[in-house]
Structure 1
Amino acid sequence: MVYLTRVEHFNAAHKLYNPAWSREQNEATFGPCANENWHGHNYEIHVTVKGRPDADTGFIMDVKALSKLIKEHVLDPLDHQNLNIDVPWLAGKMCSTEVLAEAIWQQLAPHISGCTLHQIRLYETPRIYVDYFGE
């Protein structure tokens, strides 16, 4: 099995806030991430597909096609947006990095063909990231 990863970048704002909780409980749980004026991240996403190389091209997937799918289904909807407000497929969800990685998988997986989406690795900061394998 061969694994191919495409790395992309986007910027977005969000806040972590449970409307069923008091402001104090939200601040105790989420700290500065519960800031009522939002906060932003420079996200880095690694999209990994897996498969067997095609005999004619040597590719498991054309990286230009993968890049186009990521742009259309992930970057365009998320880049420079408020995740809590501007992204319909995140409406009503807690916009944590964990939930965002799962939602990105759901947006991208149906469009991958000829191979299999293997992993979404989403960096919120250079020291914090989430891996999601579609499970």
Structure 2
Amino acid sequence: MLFCGIFVVMVHITRRERFCAAHKLYREEWTPEQNEEVFGYCSNPNWHGHNYELYVTVKGDINPQTGFVMDIKIMKEIIHTYVIGKLDHKNINLDVDFMAGKMASTEVIAQEIFHQLKPHFDQRGVILHSVKLFETENNSVEYFGQ
């Protein structure tokens, strides 16, 4: 990126975390048959679970004193405090405060994780670039906050 004749280089760093959680895709106002037609086995009345992989990417300038964009230990602490601790081994539909009343699709979960983390990275002077959430090894969602 060129800014006032000076090249500004933003560096991206990514932290991977994992959590296990159960959820169900359904709409209460729909019949069980409608839910099954739209959501398939994901609407199982007895829930189902995933071993999720979460990739959180922040960006910023490198601090010349530390050589870091952000201390990765602090990044891990933020992710664990505001996301992993709330999701791991929980029922996303019933137990997770930031998912209350929301569809527990991977798309919505990724979006809500982004919103949980953004203010905490903003306070540290880095930009939350994206949240990428793998529901399975073949299915993932990436959200950039737009």
TM-score interval, smaller chain: over 0.9
* Unmatched runs of 5 consecutive residues or more in structure 2: 1-9
Q: Which runs of 4+ in 1 moved over 2 A?
A: none
Structure 2 Cα separation of the partners of residues 51 and 15 of structure 1: 37
Aligned length: 135
- The CA deviation at 1:20 is 1.4
- Whichever of the two has the greater Rg, that structure is 2
Task: Give the 3-state SS of the residue equivalent to 2:55 in structure 1.
Answer: strand
Matched, 1:80 2:105: no
Q: Deviations over 1:49-73 (max 9, x none)?
A: 0011001011000000000000100
Residue 130 of structure 2 aligns to a residue whose secondary structure is: strand
| Deviates further, 14-23 or 35-44 | 14-23
Residue of structure 1 aligned with 2:53, choices 31, 35, 44: 44
Aligned-residue CA RMSD (Å): 0.6
Mapped partners of 1:95, 1:110: distance in 2: 22
C-alpha distance in 2, partners of 1:72/1:115?
Answer: 18
Which of 49, 58, 64 is matched with 2:73 structurally?
64
The residue identity in structure 2 corresponding to 1:80 is H
Residue of structure 1 in register with 2:126 after alignment: 115
Query: Percent identity among equivalent residues?
Result: 54
Q: Which amino acid in structure 2 is aligned with residue 123 of structure 1?
A: F
SS of structure 1 residue aligned to 2:101:
coil
Cα distance, 1:89 vs structure 2: 1.3
Q: Tell me what 1:101 maps to.
A: 110
Distance in 1, matches of 2:115 and 2:96, equals: 14
The offset of 1:114, in angstroms, is 1.8
TM-score (norm 1): 0.98
TM-score norm. by structure 2 comes to 0.91
Letter matched to residue 134 of structure 2: Y
Q: Which residue of 2 aligns with 1:10?
A: 19
Can you list the C-alpha shifts for 1:3-47, whole angstroms capped at 9, x where unaligned?
000000000000000111111110011000000000000000000
